[in-house]
Structure 1
Amino acid sequence: MDQSPEQNEQIMLPFSVVSGILMCKTVYDITGKVSSQLYKGYNGLKNKDRIEWNNRGFSTFHSLVVTVVSFYLVFISDIFKEDHHNPVTLTERKSHLSSGLQGISLGYFIADFAMIVWFFPSLGGMEYVLHHLLAIFSISLTLTSGKGHLYVHTLLLTEATTPFVNLRWYLDLTGKKSSTLYLYNGLTMLFGWLVARILLFVYFFAHLYLHFDEVKYTFPLGPYALVTVPSVLALMNLFWFSKILKGAIKTLAKTKHC
Structure 2
Amino acid sequence: MLSSEGIYTLIKSYQSQADLLLENYVSAESFVIDTSIIVGIFVCKTVYDLSRLMSAGYFKSYLNLTKSQQIEWSNRAISTFHAVYIATVSLYLLFWSDLYSDDLHHGPITLRSSTLSVFALGVSVGYFLSDFSMIIWFYPSLGGMEYVIHHILSLVGVMYTMLTGEGQLYTYMVLVSEATTPWINLRWYLDAAGMKRSSAYIVNGVVIFIAWLVARILWFVYLFYHVYLHFDQVKQMHTTGIILVLLLPALLSVMNLLWFRKIFKGLQKTLAKRE
Question: TM-score, normalization: structure 2?
Answer: 0.89
The counterpart of 2:54, out of the listed 26, 34, 48, is 34
1:228 aligns with 247
SS at 1:41's partner residue? helix
Question: Match of 2:131, as an amino acid?
Answer: D
Structure 1: segments with no counterpart, 5+ residues: none
Residue 12 of structure 2 corresponds to none
Does 2:153 align with 1:102? no
The 5 Å alignment of 1:36-115 reads: 36-84=56-104, 86-115=105-134
8 A contact 2:180–2:212 mirrored in 1: yes
Residue 257 of structure 2 is aligned to residue 238 of structure 1: yes
CA distance, structure 2, for counterparts of residue 40 and residue 251 of structure 1: 25
Report the alpha carbon displacement of residue 97 of structure 1 after superposing the two structures with TM.
Answer: 1.3
Give the aligned partner of residue 157 of structure 1. Answer: 176
Q: Residue 200 of structure 1: CA displacement?
A: 0.8
The whole-number CA distance in structure 2 between the counterparts of 1:105 and 1:158 is: 14
Tell me what 1:146 maps to: 165
Deviation by residue 1:151-190 (Cα, 9 ceiling, x = unmatched): 1111111100000000101111111000000000110010
Task: Tell me, yes or no, if the aligned pair for 2:135 and 2:143 is still in contact at 8 Å.
Answer: yes
Q: Of 22, 33, 37, which residue of structure 2 is paired with 1:13?
A: 33
How many Å separate the matches in 2 of 1:222 and 1:208? 13
Q: Per-residue deviation at 1:210?
A: 1.1
The one-character-per-residue Cα deviations of 1:17-76 (angstroms, maximum 9, x if unpaired) are 111111110000001111111112322321100100000001000000111110010112
Q: Detail structure 1 runs of 4+ shifted over 4 Å in the superposition.
A: 2-7
Report which of the two structures shows the higher radius of gyration computed on alpha carbons.
2
Match for 2:72: what amino acid? E
Q: Distance in 2 between matches of 1:225 and 1:29?
A: 35
Aligned residue runs from structure 1 range 148-187, under 5 A: 148-187=167-206
- Between the aligned partners of 1:150 and 1:5, the Cα distance in structure 2 is 27
SS of equivalent to 2:239? coil
C-alpha distance in 1 between matches for 2:106 and 2:39: 33
Q: 1:250 to 1:99 in 2, by over 3 A?
A: same
Task: Judge conservation of contact 1:216–1:222 (CA < 8 Å) in 2.
Answer: no
The answer to whether 1:194 aligns with 2:213 is: yes
Closer, same or farther in 2 for the Cα pair 1:170/1:142, shift >3 Å? same
Amino acid at match of 1:76: W
Q: Secondary structure at the match of 1:221?
A: helix
Distance 1:93 1:5, change over 3 A: farther
Check the 8 A contact 1:35/1:42 in 2, yes or no. yes
Task: Tell me whether 90-99 or 53-62 shows the greater mean CA deviation.
Answer: 90-99
Aligned partner of 1:120 among 115, 135, 139: 139
Q: Using a 3 Å threshold, how does the CA distance of structure 1 residues 87 and 243 change in structure 2: closer, same or farther?
A: same
Closer/same/farther in 2, CA of residues 148 and 3 from structure 1, 3 Å limit: farther
